[in-house]
Amino acid sequence: MTTQFELLSEIDPSKFEAITPSQFITFTMVNSLNHRRWLHAPALRVAVLDSPMAKADDESPMIAAVIVPRNRETDWTFCTESGHCQLLFKFHGVSRLFLIGNIPPHLGASVYKSLPVLDSEEQEKLKNELKPLLMSWYPKKSSDNDFPETLFLTDEYDVAYRVTVAKFLSPIVGEFLVEDVELVGGDDRNKQLRRRLRFKRMPKVIQSEALLKPVIPYHEATTLTNLESLRSIEGAKFNADTTVLVQQYLIPMVAGMCLISSHLNERIHQSLAPTALCLGVGGGVLLNFLDTQMGFVVTGVEADAMVISAARFHFGLNNSGFNRLIVGDAIQTIQNFPPPKPEEDSDELKVDDDIPEGDKDDSKVDENVPQEYHPKFDVIFVDLDSSEAKNGFSAPPPEFVKKPVFESLRSLLDDHGVLIIHVVSLNQVFYTTLVEELKENFHKVFGINVGNQDNSVVMATVSPPSSIDDDNDFLKKLKSVTSGTNMDSIVEL
């Protein structure tokens, strides 16, 4: 639910006097600012969050503020406590974070269009007007000494235009949406269009992202490439294109299969489809890619059936008929898998097409773990994240980084298999613990730098890895679909 705001007059002033870990206060106030180009509404809304890691007796707390960008007032990042939490964790070391923005005239606005940024002189004028206002809500201990300087921070946003395609409410993940966006940049002939899946409980995290492909009626042929103009064309449709990967960490995850390329190449030459287990489905982009571009038989595990339904309808999940979707908790699912199919019968294994009918198309979902024998998997992909923004964002969730979980994963892998995990570390201890637990259960552990400080990919092999210099057919295919990205940067941990 979107945060409800009280009037400033209804807030007990003593609540601001000390840093109280995780304290969240919201209120509205009359806009008395003279600078109206940015904060122009008659009333403003203010949200104040104290860091869960902050200390009440800190004599020099770091105080920061973010001016909510115009047209983003209803973005979950700025109008929910979970979004506020994610912003605070992004700005390391901040003890109290203020958000101050307009009260929008339309709370249900489904379209966002970026506006010109204020020039530096205008920004300074606005900040100078806000400083004395914010200081009235400073911790009392700070007021007794020198006021700490208010840091004005910004949230970088890569979207020029955004439209909400569909909203959902699930008892499992809560509210979530599918949106089509045009990214900032790109010339008039080459706009970057994307379809995204986002959860309200973690609004700054893009759960899934795919290329957005416009389908324009022949009689409406156009040279327009920007999303707003394309949407105005009568009969225009937009489909997610999962034949290429655009989400930053998915390419190195797929590239990680080079560690067992010889094994996968051998299976293919024996006319056996390689098998993958994907823990975490989201929009199904990785599953579709493995199926259509790499020839895998894929099993996906997703906790929320409604997410699967949205993925089918808006991302084309399962339209190509890969193996199976299982609705269930990832940890419980892997720990309750039946024993593997005996080796002597493995050649007879066929793709299971018996998947129950879904709400949106002709494909099916298994509500529980399959009870029949299954093959061991060649690859297991883990793309799971924490569900509570208040405790900080991590991938996989802390409860996943346990010895019994990794033992279960190891038991499901082929003797030449690989486990590939998308990792976002809460801290160095989290990362170190994950790597050490993997070393206890696997032959070798490797890492790939994804390209930013937040994301990494960790891989664990059951047996000695293949050489990336092995020029086999599978490795050639893998290099072609990933452009060879990240393979040379794989390091043993």
Same domain, 348 and 386: yes
Q: Is residue 481 in some structural domain?
A: yes
pLDDT in tens, 320-378: 555 689 999 999 999 988 766 554 444 433 333 333 333 334 345 555 555 554 579 99
CATH code: domain of residue 458: 3.40.50.150
Could you tell me if residue 354 is inside a domain? yes
Residue 51 lies in a domain: yes
Question: Based on the domain organization, do 372 and 394 belong to the same domain?
Answer: yes
**163 and 28 in a common domain:** no
- What's the rounded Cα separation, in Å, for the pair 417 and 196? 31
Task: Say whether both 149 and 17 belong to one domain.
Answer: yes
What is the Cα–Cα distance from 474 to 459, expressed in whole angstroms? 18
172 and 82 together in one domain: no
- Residue at 58 is within a domain: yes
Looking at the structure, do residues 237 and 260 belong to the same domain, yes or no?
Answer: no
User: What are 436's two structure tokens?
Assistant: 């050490």
Considering the domain architecture, whether residues 190 and 319 belong to the same structural domain is answered as no
The percentage of the chain sitting over the pLDDT mark of 70, rounded to a whole number, equals 84
Q: Which residue has the tokens 């700070």?
A: 142
Q: Is residue 100, in this structure, part of any structural domain at all?
A: yes
Residue 181 and residue 270 share a domain: no
pLDDT by residue (tens digit) across 244-267? Answer: 999 989 999 999 999 999 999 999
Residue 456: beta bridge partners? Answer: 423, 449
Rounded Cα distance, 323 and 341, in Å: 16
Q: What is the number of domains present in the chain?
A: 3
Q: Which of 213, 241, 269 is the last residue of a domain?
A: 241
Three-class secondary structure of residue 49 per DSSP: strand
Verify that 270 and 387 share a domain, yes or no: yes
In a domain, 289, yes or no: yes
Is 1 domain-assigned?
no
Residue 44: exposure state from Cβ atoms within 10 A (0-12, 13-18, ≥19): buried
Based on the domain organization, do 268 and 286 belong to the same domain?
yes
Same structural domain, 41 and 96: yes
- Which of 183, 217, 241 corresponds to the end of one domain? 241
pLDDT in tens, 75-97: 999 999 999 999 998 888 899 99
Q: How far is Cα 449 from Cα 428, in angstroms, rounded to an integer?
A: 15
Q: Examine residue 440 and state whether it is found in any structural domain, yes or no.
A: yes
C-alpha to C-alpha distance for 407 and 28, rounded to whole angstroms: 52
User: Which tens digits make up the pLDDT trace of 113-149?
Assistant: 888 777 778 888 889 999 999 998 998 865 555 667 8
Give the structural domain span for 211. 159-241
